[in-house]
């Protein structure tokens, strides 16, 4: 599969996944139901702190939706959207850090561990999609630094 097509599909799949995350966190409240189910009942009864927790997840969901929409729109021009793809990799790395933080704070490993795996898959496939073209790698191996750097940079 050509590199641009691979990046296009990566952006589409991750974009749809981010929109699904938006629905899961903003409407279904899956993270709260999975990790602090009592907070939903407390939020419904008017507990200010529990409502803040629920609202925070809605805000996170809106951010996921914005990134998902951006990925879907940019997937039409993936050769011009590599910076967005790199930014998404940064978001995924921060997700791993957040999940490790949760475990370090005493949360059960099962849910954050699943998310670390998902983040890792998104990062690995994103890196493969962004990897320089075969021509750029050939120039780098051939020891032609001037041409190699130019071809490498143009492969992004």
Secondary structure, 3-state, 91-152:
HHHHHHHHHHHHHHCCCCCHHHHHHHHHHHHHHHHHHHHHCCCHHHHHHHHHCCHHHHHHHH
For 102, the token pair is 């949760």
Predicted confidence pLDDT, tens digits, the chain (156 residues): 677 899 999 999 999 999 999 999 999 999 999 999 999 999 999 999 999 999 999 999 999 999 999 999 999 999 999 999 999 999 999 999 999 999 999 999 999 999 999 999 999 999 999 987 565 556 566 666 555 555 555 555
Give the model's pLDDT for residue 117: 98
Give the model's pLDDT for residue 139: 58
The pTM for the full model equals 0.84
Give the model's pLDDT for residue 143: 63
Q: Name which of 67, 62, 86, 84 is nearest 15 in CA terms.
A: 67
Query: What is the residue extent of each domain of the chain?
Result: 3-155
């Amino acid at each position: 599969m050509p590199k641009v097509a691979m990046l296009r599909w990566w952006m589409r799949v991750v974009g749809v996944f981010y929109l699904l995350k938006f629905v899961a966190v903003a409407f279904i409240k899956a993270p709260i139901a999975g990790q602090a189910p009592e907070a939903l009942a407390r939020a419904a009864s008017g507990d200010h702190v529990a409502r803040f927790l629920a609202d925070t997840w809605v805000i996170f969901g809106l951010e996921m939706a914005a990134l998902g929409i951006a990925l879907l729109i940019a997937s039409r021009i993936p050769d011009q959207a590599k910076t967005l793809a790199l930014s998404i990799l940064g978001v995924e790395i921060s997700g791993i850090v957040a999940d490790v933080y949760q475990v370090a704070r005493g949360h059960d490993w099962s849910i954050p561990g699943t998310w670390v795996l998902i983040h890792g898959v998104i990062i690995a496939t994103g890196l493969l999609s962004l990897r320089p073209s075969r021509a750029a790698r050939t120039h780098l191996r051939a020891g032609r630094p001037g041409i190699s750097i130019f071809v490498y940079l143009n492969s992004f």
